[in-house]
Structure 1
Amino acid sequence: MSEGLKINTGNENGNLVVTFSGLIDEDSNFSSLENKLIGNVIFDFEEVSLINSCGIREWVTFLESVDKGVTLTYRNCRQIIIEQVNMVHGFIRDGAQIESFYAPYYCEDCDQEHKIHLNVSDVKDGQAPVLKCPKCKTADLEFDAIEEQYFQFIK
């Protein structure tokens, strides 16, 4: 049994914040958002666990229905979301922006993978910031993807 997609809305400084949690798949229904998306809207992907190919199709179809006058910001984009943004035309529409995302890092000293939360402003000239391991606190983390490909969404 799939955990399904849950959609919650809230307000933050006059912006509508739409928080998605669970799985975005063929059963995802975005109709609860119809006529609610006006002004500035922040899509928060912090709790999205998975998106499959059918979910991508549902998402793109949903985005096409959002009024072009709405300003969209993507926040807390998991690696699976960033990969779709980079690969799938229409996953993020023209004019939308990404505020924050998770990036894959690896610590050789403690043999641990880490998903590090970054703001777009942390990435300078397409280079991942150099960070210390949050576990061992001494080693520099290695960026665990190809920067040019992973940061493609930053224009």
Structure 2
Amino acid sequence: MTDALLFDWKKEDYVAISGMVDEHADFSPLFNKNLEKLFLDLKNVNRINSSGVRRWVIALEKLRDVELHYINCSFSVVEQLSMVPEFLTKKSHVESFDARYVCENCNTSQVVTLVVGYDIEAGLSKYLDGPDRLCPNCKSKMEFDHNPDSYLFFLSNLHNKKK
């Protein structure tokens, strides 16, 4: 069974991408639209390997004149955003991304989609923790289940700083 990259166009300028970004990733469906603005829903991108990063960066070069909006970035995408500066162009905006929280009181874990500019501010020089969240079960404060300095690093350099 293959985990091929799939494109599900929700609107003319909004596509949900799912699967694995690897050496077989074909981004040509993104090039044929001639759009000024493109919304990429990346919730179901489940893995990105080093060859996939290279293919993504090459695709971004072809989309350099398109304003890209990254929505619902999965853990795999967030890791690349923070490790590979070329994963974003000057015209890229990260709108939202997933983060995991755990409750040490009742052992609950939860994946939360954080909205940039609402839940968390872009452009800070350092991130010491994720935004506060309360446990849906016991209402205790949940812990951000990532190293904030590395997981949230991409936010420091975002072009879409919100007021």
- Name the TM-score, length of structure 2 as normaliser: 0.83
Q: Considering only aligned residues, what root-mean-square deviation do their CA atoms show, in Å?
A: 1.8
8 Å Cα contact 2:65-2:91 kept in structure 1: no
Give 1:146's aligned residue. Answer: 147
Gaps of 5+ in 1: none
| One-letter code aligned to 2:130 | A
Secondary structure of the residue aligned to 1:28 is coil
Tell me whether 1:129 sits opposite 2:126 in the alignment. no
Tell me whether 1:74 sits opposite 2:70 in the alignment. yes
Tell me whether 1:53 sits opposite 2:50 in the alignment. yes
What is the Cα deviation at residue 139 of structure 1?
1.7
CA deviation string 1:10-40 (max 9, x = no partner): 32xxx60121011111111111222314111
CA deviation string 1:92-132 (max 9, x = no partner): 11231100001121111222332211101211464522111
Give 1:17's aligned residue. Answer: 14
8 Å Cα contact 1:2-1:23 kept in structure 2: no
Count residues with an aligned counterpart: 150
Runs of 4+ with deviation above 3 angstroms: 124-127
Residues in 1 aligned to 2:25 and 2:107: alpha-carbon distance in whole angstroms: 36
Secondary structure of the residue aligned to 1:2 is coil
Gaps of 5+ in 2: 157-163
What is the Cα deviation at residue 76 of structure 1?
0.2
| One-letter code aligned to 1:5 | L
Tell me whether 1:63 sits opposite 2:65 in the alignment. no
- Name the TM-score, length of structure 1 as normaliser: 0.87
Identity of aligned residues (%): 35
